[in-house]
Amino acid sequence: MKRLIYRQRNCKSLSVIALFIFLLLGIVNSVAVLAAEDDDYLKAIEMEIDKVDAKPSGGGAASESAGKGFSSGMTIEEFEEELATKYTGTARFYEKLPRRTQQEIYQEYKDGASISEVRTKVMNRFLRR
């Protein structure tokens, strides 16, 4: 009889411990999800996805016209506005760069770098490559 009572107490304490661990893991998972929601990289990816979803499904012609819309004679303000309009994710990372780095990227654009080169440069500078 004493052994049965002892086993019942152990079983209850084990179930309480298991419940505590389960709740703790749930809290840790919730914190991880909340931290991921604040991640700038994930936000930029989501904005790029929204932008791609919003484009008409014309194929290559739509992507070619987007690249041609970036004229070479823009001021830095116009460049930044065009970047924000057409390449939202890249613009978010560009905004986080130091002003001197932004000016260097703009100068490379003025010197004839394509928009894909500019976008690559922004990401490399943001990731410090």
Task: Check pLDDT > 90 for residue 10.
Answer: no
Burial class (CB within 10 angstroms; exposed 0-12, middle 13-18, buried 19+) of 24: exposed
d(CA 95, CA 97): 6
31 vs 12, residue with greater confidence: 12
Task: Check pLDDT > 90 for residue 103.
Answer: yes
The H or E element containing residue 43 is: helix 40-54
Task: Check pLDDT > 80 for residue 79.
Answer: yes
Looking at the chain, how many residues does it have? 129
Q: Is 56 left (phi over 0), alpha (psi -120 to 50) or beta?
A: beta
Encode pLDDT of 43-78 as tens digits.
777 777 777 766 655 444 444 434 445 666 788 999
| Percentage of the residues of the chain whose pLDDT score is greater than 70 | 58
Is the pTM of the predicted complex or chain greater than 0.75? no
